[in-house]
Structure 1
Amino acid sequence: MSAFVKLISSDGFEFTVDRKAACVSNTIKQMLSADGNFMENTSGEVRFPEIPAVILERVCQYFYYKLQYQNTPAKAIPAFALPPEQALELLKAANYLDT
């Protein structure tokens, strides 16, 4: 099992992220689970036919942000900046990815 996972956007861009970061998403975590029968578990690649690269890039940034601040008191966590024009698409992606 590789320490990295490749996330592929709807427009073909590839993002290589730490497996631990990718597993911030419960959806991805289940796909990569040894218990599941998903092809993503063996290939180490997860394709997102509904998520464009500009949104998937922000999602990947959020995965690392979440890991970095997971044990930090809430008052000390800086805001995760979201461009207003991406808010709706990010909300849909977050819902699908269960993050």
Structure 2
Amino acid sequence: MSIKKENTVKLISAEGFEFVIDRQAAMVSNTIKNMLSSSGSFTETELGEVKFPEISTPILEKLCQYFYYKLRYSNTTNVNNIPEFKIEPDIALELLMAANFLDA
């Protein structure tokens, strides 16, 4: 099964690490959604990639995990069946700031 490029988005961390994720998962972030769907010929819209020079690789990786988590459980009716999204204490503050920036 091949994945079409238009169905994925490339998110690039400060260190240059590239995360290729489903476009639908990336759209959990309102900031990314706005970047990818803005009219005009912006690099993000044309290439389907977004660079985050201020977000480190471990934080962006955790955010990608959260996007899939949110996508998976956002319409679940029984809240008792939703597993906890674990966040390591040593990255909590940096993750919170990045999530706030991404409106996720």
TM-score bucket of the superposed structures, by smaller chain: over 0.9
Q: Deviations over 1:37-73 (max 9, x none)?
A: 5320001110001000000000000000001101113
Q: Choose which of 12, 29, 46 in structure 1 pairs with 2:50.
A: 46
Q: How many residues align?
A: 99
Q: TM-score, normalization: structure 1?
A: 0.93
The alignment partner of 2:11 has SS state of strand
Runs of 4+ residues over 6 Å off in structure 1: none
What is the percent sequence identity of the aligned residues? 61
Unaligned runs of 5+ in 2: none
Corresponding residue for residue 58 of structure 1: 62
Equivalent in the alignment of 1:94: 99
Aligned to 1:16: 20
> What is the distance in 2 between the residues matched to 1:37 and 1:78?
40
Structure 1: any 5+ residue segments left out of the alignment?
none
How far has the Cα of 1:34 moved from its partner? 4.6
Greater Rg, structure 1 or structure 2?
Answer: 2
Deviation (angstroms), 1:76: 2.2
Selected match of 1:80 from 69, 72, 85: 85
Amino acid aligned to 1:75: N
Q: Which residue of 1 aligns with 2:73?
A: 69
Amino acid at match of 2:73: Y
Q: Secondary structure at the match of 1:29?
A: helix
CA RMSD, Structure 1 to Structure 2 (Å): 1.4
TM-score normalised by L of structure 2: 0.89
